């Protein structure tokens, strides 16, 4: 029988570690946190130094029972949870559950799940770090206090079922402020000059560095160039270098996986977790760029073996972030020479990215020769410029090139044809193209992580949950949106003629960007107006620094919570008593036909427009309501758009002597016929759907319903139906499983009644009966 129990967080990691330890060890999983603050109450005693009350999660009772059983049968328990604050806290909770003294607990840590690392950790256990536990506990308690006190304020002042979080609300603020910057942005036009020259059959591209604000100035410039001589006035060659980026931290991995692989932040972390647990990479929640001496040696060997000694440049990177949590390594492969890993294609792609980035960080700089050419124009002081780059030595570029969030479409660098000073060039064509300035880019998940990190808000373990939470709460949506058509002016000088064209382009197309929803805008504005401190970026960053101080033992967690909570609680009470209820109401104008007032506001089921006043009006006339369409917002909708929304329900005609209508309801657009509702698919619009299309939907629904129905015993209100998971019985709003030995098509009403009679009670009802 095993003498030692090793407890890790995940079954996948347990399976990997079991391979490395002998028969004297049993490795079990806690499946993450085993204890937490109960979700149905605040569970923090603010009168007793913010003492928390933890309980074993319902879904972990079986796990805890098994761990207790295993712990009783061994001589030693090793707590091998992740090496960060969350992992330390899980180990501390396990101590309390298993009856271990935290001060005597055997804590083992490692940054990679390899045989060497695990055996080394077991041979060198340490004490539980209560400072790390307190830092995690402080974050959990603070966030619980904020959520439990702030959310009811939102229910009362805005809308039921809303919730607020300390870091999440600040993240939403960033997105809201960026959206408003975009909305206020007015593009400015300027004319960009491009020229193409023929150099012995090759094309030399050149530009004028400054742009013209007016079309007339651009036209005049082309007139000057028409018939002019173009001569190479100067050629300058400048050596330059490109240096590799540091190995990945959590945030840089999330950013680069988004740019290069198109992964969401959450997807990146899920895949990285699998790679780590299977022993392929080091721990994936880190803000360190350090590599161990062993890793540096292994990287150098792998680079020299594959590319040669001249490509090796071993170096250690320094952390820009002075608040790095623990002394982890950067994210790197466990084995530098391992090019492929077992797993899905997504896992292989992310592993490949991590491996290449790590190797590139230890490779030589790339040596570049940059050429800058000045081209003079006869009869003018003007100069055109051509630039080119030649890679003299590729260095790290042989393996990896870092991506960027910047949208740059003007990089003309490349190979230049052979040129010499005094050479006269033949002009192929020259264009003056109207270009427009771009609004600040909306955030992607990756660029939001970068911004949060720059501001010092959150830590490696919080970026992904924060971004997932604000989307789950519907304060922010991630989506792609089509651009709009825009006309621009293009003047072209070719063969002595200047031609003017006005082509069109699509502008404003967005792909996988973060947009605030109307409720997100409303909640943000309310919090900014009433909870300025909570919503302040530097205040939130300072809270993170205080968590860091707790983690190093330089600050008492109780005192830190107290200094935050007392003024915050007063703020909550003041806002609850004094703040006005908000709906985001905007007056849009009056209906030109009826003169009724039209407003946009937040309603019970979401953003909407309203025509007419409240029912208390003297004439008793009730107002009309209409939901906003996808892409519309309370802040930007105009009267003409609102009037269109009141055109629903639309009467489309008669089918089988019954009216067919198109409308939008609480659950989306639908067609109504003979008191029956048929959903309108996403690729159809209730404002434009035709009568023929509606009839097709009605008939398709009838056919689907007919195929769904196996029996309809109307006298007993029993139906036997085909469902997603097979046939079932429906009776009085409840569904019943059909026993495996029964054929649905052959069931009689008596057999159905017997199945209903002998069916076990629903889980909730059974639980209540058990309690009583």
8 Å CB contact between 28 and 66: yes
Could you tell me if 352 and 343 are in contact, meaning their C-beta atoms sit under 8 angstroms apart?
no
614 close to 650: Cβ distance less than 8 angstroms: no
Paired sense of beta strands 597-603 and 586-590, if any: antiparallel
Q: Give the number of other CB atoms < 10 A from CB of residue 213.
A: 12
15: left (phi over 0), alpha (psi -120 to 50) or beta: alpha
| Structure tokens, 748 | 């009689």
3-class DSSP state of 24? coil
Phi, psi of 285 (to 5 degrees): -110, 95
Angle at the Cα of 682 from the Cα atoms of 465 and 634, rounded to 5 degrees: 65
* Active-site residue, selected from the candidate residues 31, 50, 283, 400: 283
Task: Please say whether the beta carbons of 38 and 53 come within 8 A.
Answer: yes
Cα dihedral sign, 738-742-747-749: negative
Does 725 participate in catalysis according to the annotation? no
Q: Is 732 left (phi over 0), alpha (psi -120 to 50) or beta?
A: left
Sign, CA dihedral 349-350-355-358, equals: positive
Helices (H), 717-771: 749-758, 763-771
Closest CA to 611 of 634, 636, 645: 645
752 near 745, Cβ under 8 Å? no
Sheet with 606-611, edge to edge strand ranges: 586-590, 597-603, 606-611, 624-627
Structure tokens at 216: 């007339």
Cα–Cα distance between 10 and 209 in angstroms, integer?
57
Alpha carbon dihedral 585, 591, 597, 601, in 10-degree steps, equals: -20
Q: State the CB neighbour count (10 A cutoff) for residue 131.
A: 17
Active site residues: 283
């Amino acid at each position: 029988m095993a003498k030692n129990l090793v407890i890790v967080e995940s079954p996948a990691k347990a399976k990997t570690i079991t391979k490395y330890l002998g028969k004297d060890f049993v490795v079990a999983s806690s499946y993450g946190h085993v204890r937490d603050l109960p979700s149905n109450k605040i569970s923090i005693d603010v009168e007793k130094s913010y003492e928390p009350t933890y309980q074993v999660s319902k879904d972990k009772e079986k796990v805890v029972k098994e761990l207790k059983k295993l712990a009783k049968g061994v001589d030693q328990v090793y707590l091998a949870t992740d090496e960060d604050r969350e992992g330390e806290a899980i180990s501390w909770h396990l101590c309390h559950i298993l009856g271990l003294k935290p001060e005597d607990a055997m804590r083992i840590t490692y940054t990679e799940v390899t045989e060497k690392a695990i055996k080394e950790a077991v041979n060198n256990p340490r004490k539980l770090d209560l400072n790390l536990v307190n830092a995690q506990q402080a974050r959990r308690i603070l966030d619980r206090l904020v959520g439990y006190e702030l959310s009811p304020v939102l229910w009362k002042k805005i809308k039921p079922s809303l919730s607020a979080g300390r870091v999440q609300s600040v993240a939403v603020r960033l997105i809201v402020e960026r959206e408003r910057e975009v909305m206020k942005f007015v593009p400015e036009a300027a004319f960009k000059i491009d020229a193409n020259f023929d150099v012995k059959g090759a094309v030399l591209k050149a530009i004028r560095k400054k742009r013209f604000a007016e079309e007339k100035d651009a036209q005049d410039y082309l007139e000057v160039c028409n018939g002019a001589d173009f001569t190479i006035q100067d050629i300058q060659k400048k050596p330059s270098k490109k240096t590799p980026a540091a190995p990945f931290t959590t945030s840089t991995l999330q950013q680069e996986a988004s740019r290069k692989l198109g992964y969401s932040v959450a997807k990146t972390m899920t895949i990285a977790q699998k790679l780590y647990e299977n022993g392929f990479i080091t721990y994936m929640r880190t803000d360190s760029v350090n590599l161990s001496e062993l890793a540096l040696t292994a990287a150098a060997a792998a680079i020299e073996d594959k590319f040669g000694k001249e490509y090796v440049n071993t170096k250690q990177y320094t952390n820009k972030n002075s608040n790095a949590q623990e002394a982890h390594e950067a994210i790197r492969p466990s084995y530098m020479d391992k090019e492929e890993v077992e797993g899905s294609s997504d896992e292989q792609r992310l592993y490949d990215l991590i491996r290449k980035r790590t190797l590139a960080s230890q490779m030589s700089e790339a040596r570049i020769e940059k050429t800058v050419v000045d081209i003079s124009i006869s009869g003018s002081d003007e100069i055109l410029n051509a630039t080119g780059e030649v890679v003299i030595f590729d260095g790290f570029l042989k393996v990896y090139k870092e991506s960027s969030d910047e949208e740059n479409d003007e990089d003309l660098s490349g190979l230049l044809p052979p040129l010499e000073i005094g050479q006269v060039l033949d002009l192929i064509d020259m264009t003056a193209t109207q270009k427009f300035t771009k609004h600040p880019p909306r955030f992607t998940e990756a660029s939001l992580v970068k911004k949060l990190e720059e501001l010092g808000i959150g830590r490696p373990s919080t970026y992904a949950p924060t971004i997932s939470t604000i989307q789950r709460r519907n304060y922010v949506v991630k989506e792609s949106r089509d651009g709009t058509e825009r006309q621009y002016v293009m003047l072209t000088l070719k063969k002595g003629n200047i031609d003017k064209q006005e082509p069109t382009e699509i502008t404003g197309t967005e792909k996988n960007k973060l947009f605030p929803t109307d409720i997100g805008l409303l909640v943000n504005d309310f919090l900014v107006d009433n909870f300025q401190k909570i919503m302040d970026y530097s205040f939130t960053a300072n809270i993170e620094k205080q968590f860091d101080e707790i983690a190093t033992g330089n600050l008492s967690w109780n005192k830190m919570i107290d200094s935050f909570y007392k003024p915050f609680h007063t703020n909550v009470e003041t806002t609850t008593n004094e703040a006005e209820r908000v709906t985001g109401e905007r007056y849009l104008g009056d209906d030109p036909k009826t003169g009724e007032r039209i407003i946009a506001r937040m309603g019970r089921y979401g953003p909407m427009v309203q025509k007419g006043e409240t029912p208390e009006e003297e004439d008793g006339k009730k107002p009309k309501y209409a939901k906003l369409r996808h892409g519309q917002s309370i802040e930007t909708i105009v009267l003409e758009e609102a009037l269109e929304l009141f055109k629903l329900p639309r009467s489309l005609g008669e089918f089988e002597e019954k009216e067919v209508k198109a409308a939008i309801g609480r659950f989306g657009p639908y067609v109504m016929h003979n008191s029956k509702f048929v959903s309108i698919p996403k690729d159809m619009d209730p404002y434009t759907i035709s009568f023929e299309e509606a009839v097709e939907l009605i008939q398709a629904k009838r056919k689907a319903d007919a195929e769904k129905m196996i029996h309809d015993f109307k006298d007993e209100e029993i139906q036997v139906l085909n469902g997603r998971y097979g046939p079932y019985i429906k009776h009085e709003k409840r569904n019943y499983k059909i026993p495996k030995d029964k054929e649905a098509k052959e069931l009689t009403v008596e057999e159905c009644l017997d199945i209903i009679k002998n069916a076990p009670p629903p889980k909730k009802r059974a639980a209540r009966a058990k309690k009583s």
